Structure 1
């Protein structure tokens, strides 16, 4: 699908990632990872930040432990990582450019859901602080049945809860891990952020640097039902 075709399409539902897509929290995860590793005296291998981006926090904690040569500390690093992230996110909640405006616009013509690898309480707190929580009909996070990204489960579940087929549903994502999840679920995908290279962009229908790009805001605005004057 070309960018022209997706920008002329009206999805039946839209599913947003939260961290790094709506909320500027990826920097908090990166800081939390660095603080945790420093506390344990571990130095990650080159490229660790990119490998960890978008992973469920439990997988990230165990990845840190394995790369540090201490897999037995996986649970301890995971707990420490989440604690540091929660503190950082609570102290400095920031929405991504264009996120608030896009969510408000899209909510006027389609049901919305969140598909996130974060704990539910973290997602809800972040969205509530940003004044966006009320716009979402569903929030889907991993549990004992729903596997985390890059598995397709969170996006399949979100589409089902919205009452739409995956092919009629749009995902908005920023990480390779999340994009893999959405693509495997059969959703159409808008990717957002710095250009990640051909391997990632081959999986999306449209890549934009920011959600405040005029073609994105214009696409959403053109789909809001017009009131008919009497």
Structure 2
């Protein structure tokens, strides 16, 4: 699907990632990782931040423990990671540029859901503080038999709960892990971020640098009016 085709289409449901897509919280994950690793005598490099972006927190904790040379501490470091992240989000629940406007307008023409690798309490608390939680019919996180991204489960379940076939739904994502999850589920994918990845080609139908992109706003206005 070309960019022009995507913006001529009306999805039956829209499923948003949360961290780095709706909420400006990816920096909080980075800071939380830095704090925990520093406590264990290690410092993450840029490549480590790239490899852990969008991963489930338990997988991130495991990678942190291995990076610090203390694999037996994976569970402990995961808990420390979550504790630090929750504190940082509570202190600074800021939305990404354009996110609030896009969500409000999109909710007028399509059911909305969130699909995240974060704990449910973190996702719902952050969106609630930002005044956005009420626009979402469903919040999907890895629970029970639902596997974390990059498995397709959260996107498949989100589309099902919204009453849409995966191919009729749009995913909005910012990480390679999320792109893989959504594309494996069969959703069309809107990628967002300042720079389109070049070393790991994402499976996206359209890339925008921000959710405040003028063409994207024009599209959502045309569907919600």
Common fold, TM-score beyond 0.5? Answer: yes
After superposition, the C-alpha distances for 1:53-81 in whole angstroms (9 at most, x for unaligned) are: 00011110011011222110000000000
- Once residues 199 and 190 of structure 1 are traced to their aligned partners in structure 2, the CA distance between those partners, rounded to angstroms, is 18
- Once residues 98 and 150 of structure 2 are traced to their aligned partners in structure 1, the CA distance between those partners, rounded to angstroms, is 25
In the alignment, which residue of structure 2 is the partner of 1:57?
57
With normalisation by structure 1, the TM-score equals: 0.95
In the alignment, which residue of structure 1 is the partner of 2:218?
218
2:155–2:182 CA contact under 8 A, matched in 1: yes
Aligned residue pairs: how many?
225
**120-129 or 201-210: which moved more?**
201-210
In the alignment, which residue of structure 1 is the partner of 2:74?
74
Q: Secondary structure at the match of 2:125?
A: helix
- Once residues 193 and 213 of structure 2 are traced to their aligned partners in structure 1, the CA distance between those partners, rounded to angstroms, is 11
| RMSD between aligned residues | 1.1
In the alignment, which residue of structure 2 is the partner of 1:143?
143
In the alignment, which residue of structure 2 is the partner of 1:183?
183
Q: Which runs of 5+ in 2 are unaligned?
A: none
Q: Which runs of 5+ in 1 are unaligned?
A: none
CA distance 1:45–1:93, shift in 2 (3 Å): closer
Q: 1:193: Cα distance to partner?
A: 0.4
In the alignment, which residue of structure 2 is the partner of 1:153?
153
Q: 1:197: Cα distance to partner?
A: 2.6
With normalisation by structure 2, the TM-score equals: 0.97
